[in-house]
Chain A
Amino acid sequence: MEEKDIKKESIYLKLMPYIEKYGILLLLVLMILVMHILQPDVFLSWRNVTNVFKQISWQSMLALGVFMVIVTAGIDLSVGSIMMLSLMVLAIVAKAGAPWFIVVITPLIAGFLCGLFNGAGITLLRMPHPFIMTLGTLYIFRGTGNLISGGTPISGFTDEVRYLGHGRIDLTWLGLEKSQYLPVSLVLIAVVYVIFWFFLNHSRTGKWIYAIGGNPSAARASGINVNKILIIVYSLCGFLSGIGALILAGRTDSGYPNAGLQSELDAIAACIIGGASFFGGRGTVLGVFAGVMIMGILRNGLNLMDVSSFWQQVLIGSIIVIAVYIDVLRRDLGTRK
């Protein structure tokens, strides 16, 4: 190898961790700039920005859950159905007249239990791949949601129940106008993402989740109870889907049978765009957030420009393929063969 090549390679190796960590943010900033240039009056207006955050609020919860699962080299196809079932449970409990503080925890419990069911199935029933278990529960949970609700929408929740998805934090005390409020769901996203960032990067369990994705047999040989960690991961994924249901209940004021249909694919797409590797062990919470934002901004921007939703599908699909190709290149550069 020539000296020049060695130098080039070592610069790559030095830059690699930064590109891996922050490259996706560059893409996000670039997109925001392009949208701002194309739609200077509307795109960065208070109204539109809060709108984007409200639109991504529940998807961001599903994506975060699926992300943790993908880090373990697994997959969860059932998050959309978990969210729908949790939403229906919430709606039924609310209609039965339960007090609001009971109503708001029911989707969280329902989501957690669904996730626990997934985790238990994958580990105890020794399913050959999480794809199969969660493909099964994708149907099971949605079917159950329709069974308990009779397949019809249940609408009308109290303001307390709707607070997380629909609440507004008034900023007039800062001298801003009445219309320049902060959506509660935006604060919720920030809080949940920070908590899970800490959990994944600064707790032993979080480190073990990455270790399992990196090399499950190494994790096992290190005395880590791999099955227990996997059950925790799938349960937390379900729990986050439950939070998604609570947000959606606030936003739509309704439990409806088509809630979260195909949203598991959006969640997976956001993780992949955000740099999570399907091979496991790779990806950051910040990346997932960027992935969710990129999808949200793309949809929002294309809507503002009146581009047909068919083009949106084509574009999102293309971004997934390109993002994964970058992941392939990254692996080629970053590891010794």
Chain B
Amino acid sequence: MSTFQNPLLEAKGITKYFGTITALENVDLKVHAGECLGVVGDNGAGKSTLMKVLSGLYKPSSGSLYFQGKEEILESPKDSQNLGLEMVYQDLALAGNLPIGENIFLGREPTKNIGFLKFLDFNKIKELTNAHLGKLKINVKSADQKVEELSGGQRQAVAIARSTAFNAKVVIMDEPTAALAIKEVGKVLDLINSLKKTGVGVIVISHRMDDIFSVCDRVMALFQGTNFAESELSNTSRDEVIGWIMGKK
């Protein structure tokens, strides 16, 4: 939609070594507001490493990150969260023993002061959770339900709700439909489309061409830790993108 605008998030020349292994070499990436970027690549192409660099979980060996045009150095996931950069992990990163609401606000729980002590504000957690789930049209029995009692699709929805509960500007999703039943995939893709409409920049890592071609505006391929190809979605085809994944142009 707004390709002539400045990108919301831009990574330039990201390189990451693990000992002698080069996981990423000189990788560039950018995403605009309201845009969905699809990142494809074979296993070991460096997709997950790149996402972990963007979320502050890994520090890049070299290269720089720009958020809204300003260079940022991410020391931890907390730093990226503070910028409005949220991650939805493939293993969902939810604590099954905690209720939905407490998972959504995990690490950022609202509190109330009683005297000099800070207590969790459970009413507020519930209130905010219901409002937020309602906004995203996510149906669950109750915000007090434990996450381990939910289906895969519901868990994915909670993970996405979690990532957007704090005015996220960019949401990065690692294989958002990989663990889902077919009927639940559509719901998650709808959720991604509605995020885009609210002006959030979305990065989707996926193996599934169906996902890429139903929600993304642009697609980039990584091959052996480097930028391999990139295109507007309208200018490419499934076969071509599949070719990129295998290293053929």
Contact for B149 among A13, A202, A207, A281, CB less than 8 A: A13
* Residues of chain B within 8 A of A224, CB atoms compared: 106-107
Count residues of chain A with CB under 8 A from any CB of chain B.
25
- Kindly specify which of B86-94, B227-235, B241-249 makes contact with the partner chain: B86-94
**Residue A167, interface by CB 8 Å:** no
* Residues of chain A within 8 A of B150, CB atoms compared: 336
Bound CA–CA A281/B87 (angstroms): 23
* Residues of chain A within 8 A of B117, CB atoms compared: 203
* Residues of chain A within 8 A of B102, CB atoms compared: 207, 211
Let me know if A208 and B118 touch, CB within 8 A.
Answer: no
Contact for A211 among B57, B98, B111, B151, CB less than 8 A: B98
The proximity string for B residues 100-121 relative to A, scoring 1 for CB distances below 8 Å and 0 otherwise, is 0011001111010000011110
* Residues of chain B within 8 A of A211, CB atoms compared: 95, 98, 102, 106
A210-B77 in contact given A203-B120, A217-B91, A222-B106 (Cβ < 8 Å): no
Let me know if B93 and A218 touch, CB within 8 A.
Answer: yes
Let me know if B95 and A218 touch, CB within 8 A.
Answer: yes
* Residues of chain A within 8 A of B76, CB atoms compared: 223
Of the listed residues A218, A223, A282, the one surrounded by the most CB atoms of chain B closer than 10 A to its CB is: A218
The proximity string for B residues 77-88 relative to A, scoring 1 for CB distances below 8 Å and 0 otherwise, is 110010000010
* Residues of chain B within 8 A of A218, CB atoms compared: 92-95, 103, 106
Number of A-B contacts (CB under 8 A): 83
**Residue B96, interface by CB 8 Å:** yes
A208-B148 in contact given A214-B97, A221-B57, A221-B77 (Cβ < 8 Å): no
Of the listed residues B55, B92, B93, B150, the one surrounded by the most CB atoms of chain A closer than 10 A to its CB is: B93
* Residues of chain A within 8 A of B120, CB atoms compared: 202-204, 207
* Residues of chain B within 8 A of A217, CB atoms compared: 89, 91, 93
A214-B111 in contact given A221-B89, A336-B150 (Cβ < 8 Å): no
* Residues of chain A within 8 A of B146, CB atoms compared: 334
Instruction: Report whether over half of chain B's contact residues are helix, strand or loop; otherwise say mixed.
Output: loop
A336-B77 in contact given A211-B98, A221-B57 (Cβ < 8 Å): no
Bound CA–CA A97/B77 (angstroms): 52
Contact for A203 among B77, B95, B118, CB less than 8 A: B118
Bound CA–CA A201/B76 (angstroms): 27
The proximity string for A residues 212-234 relative to B, scoring 1 for CB distances below 8 Å and 0 otherwise, is 01110111111110000000000
* Residues of chain A within 8 A of B55, CB atoms compared: 221
Bound CA–CA A281/B97 (angstroms): 6
Contact for A221 among B93, B98, B148, CB less than 8 A: B93
Let me know if A221 and B96 touch, CB within 8 A.
Answer: no
The proximity string for A residues 118-145 relative to B, scoring 1 for CB distances below 8 Å and 0 otherwise, is 0000000000000000000000000000
Closest to A335 in B: B148
Bound CA–CA A207/B146 (angstroms): 14
Closest Cβ of chain A: how far from B72's Cβ, in Å? 16
* Residues of chain B within 8 A of A222, CB atoms compared: 77, 93, 106-108
Let me know if B98 and A214 touch, CB within 8 A.
Answer: yes
> In the complex, which residues 153-212 of chain A have their Cβ closer than 8 Å to any Cβ of chain B?
198, 202-204, 207-208, 210-211
> In the complex, which residues 138-153 of chain B have their Cβ closer than 8 Å to any Cβ of chain A?
146, 148-151
The proximity string for A residues 307-337 relative to B, scoring 1 for CB distances below 8 Å and 0 otherwise, is 0000000000000000000000000001110
> In the complex, which residues 148-194 of chain B have their Cβ closer than 8 Å to any Cβ of chain A?
148-151
> What are 29 of the A-B contact pairs (CB < 8 Å)?
A198-B119, A203-B119, A203-B120, A204-B111, A207-B102, A208-B106, A208-B107, A211-B102, A214-B96, A214-B97, A215-B94, A218-B93, A218-B94, A218-B103, A219-B106, A220-B77, A221-B77, A221-B93, A222-B107, A222-B108, A223-B108, A224-B107, A281-B96, A281-B98, A282-B97, A334-B146, A334-B148, A334-B149, A336-B151
Having A210-B95, A210-B98, A217-B91, one finds 4 other A-B pairs with CB under 8 Å, namely A204-B120, A211-B106, A223-B107, A335-B148
